[in-house]
Amino acid sequence: MYRGALTRTIRTASRNHAASFSFTAFRPAAARLIRFNSTTTPPASDSSSKPPKTPEQLAKKAALERQDDLQRDWDAKVLTYEELLPRIQNPSPNAYLIDVREPDEVIQGMIPSAVNLPLSALPAAFHVHHKEFKTKYGFEKPRLNQELVFYCRSGMRSSTASDVAKRNGYTKCLPHTRNDMRSRRTMSTPAPHTTESPLTMEDYHLKADQTMEGLLETLEEILDNSEHTGYEVDYHSGVLTLKLGSHGTYVINKQPPNKQIWLSSPRSGPKRYDFDDSSGWIYLRDGGSLNNLLSEELSDVFSQSITIRV
């Protein structure tokens, strides 16, 4: 009797151990099966069941694709010093040379034929009306198909400005890095005497515009009465260019950030002129006037007495 009870106990324990072992061995396999099923890619839905895009959605997609195409060429050509120099010496009405530094930096020196439009103001400037743009920045708002050459101190901001302009629809944007020391030496006007102009911005534009228009009229008259051929004078967006063949090119332009008129002369180099009520536009370094300098140098070019009074 005792032997029978012992036998039954051993059999029961063996069955329980076998069941426990089978379940334990099965559990990892079941878990792997569950994980496998959970990561299985669901069957693709029938694309024909999707509703067609509305005309508005299609138009939006097309607009985004056009915008992507516009911004695709981020490795746009960077202008070298050799390529920039002709644009400085012979400004064109179809192109702008834009200094994107801040006004306090521009005061320290700038390319005479350039205009100033700070990078901080650039995005908003592209969205203002043409008349407001000219009043605020002193030159005509660029056309979308106009060549824009941007430059700054090191090239970082000029590249950013080129990208910003491109995002706003401008198609001919060229940054210049100015990492060539020759450009720093030859393209900037000398550092100014720090004198705050008493003119309001409105008065500055009034007096500067009168001077520039008077210069244009006087120079056109001189060229009309001259026997020299191939000489040209042109004025647009605050920049006056006088091309005198082998005698070089004069560039005279407005500089609203510091309320000055800047001159780049092939004979005497760059100069900045501040307005004085009694003497007109004066170069503070030597006290000479813009009228006297132009009269003297143009008299030598034309081999006759020429007087500039504007």
What pLDDT digit, counting tens, does each position of 173-222 carry? Answer: 888 765 443 444 444 544 444 456 788 888 998 999 999 999 999 999 99
User: What SS3 state is found at 5?
Assistant: helix
Question: Beta partners for 265?
Answer: 269
Percent of the chain's residues with pLDDT above 90:
22
One domain, residues 156 and 223: no
Q: What is the pLDDT of residues 84-100, one digit of tens each?
A: 888 777 777 788 889 99
Q: What average pLDDT score do residues 154-180 get? A: 80
For residue 243, give the nearest of 74, 9, 252 by alpha carbon: 252
Report field, pTM of the whole predicted structure over 0.85: no
Domain that holds residue 149: 81-186
One domain, residues 116 and 211: no
Q: Does residue 70 form part of some domain?
A: no
Q: Does residue 87 form part of some domain?
A: yes
Q: Does residue 117 form part of some domain?
A: yes
Question: Mean pLDDT, the chain, as a whole number?
Answer: 77
The one-letter code for the residue type at 213 is E
With residue 30 as reference, give the H or E element that holds it: helix 2-38
Q: Per the structure, how many domains does the chain have?
A: 2
Q: Does residue 161 form part of some domain?
A: yes
One domain, residues 175 and 212: no
Asked if 100 and 150 touch (Cβ cutoff 8 Å), the reply is yes
Q: How many other CB atoms sit within 10 Å of the CB of residue 140? A: 17
What is the set of active-site residues? 152
Q: Does residue 62 form part of some domain?
A: no
Crossing angle for the helix pair 201-224 and 290-302, nearest 10 degrees?
Answer: 10
Q: Does residue 282 form part of some domain?
A: yes
Distances (CA, A) of 265 to 24, 57, 241: 96, 57, 11
Q: Does residue 22 form part of some domain?
A: no
Q: Does residue 146 form part of some domain?
A: yes
CATH classification at residue 177: 3.40.250.10
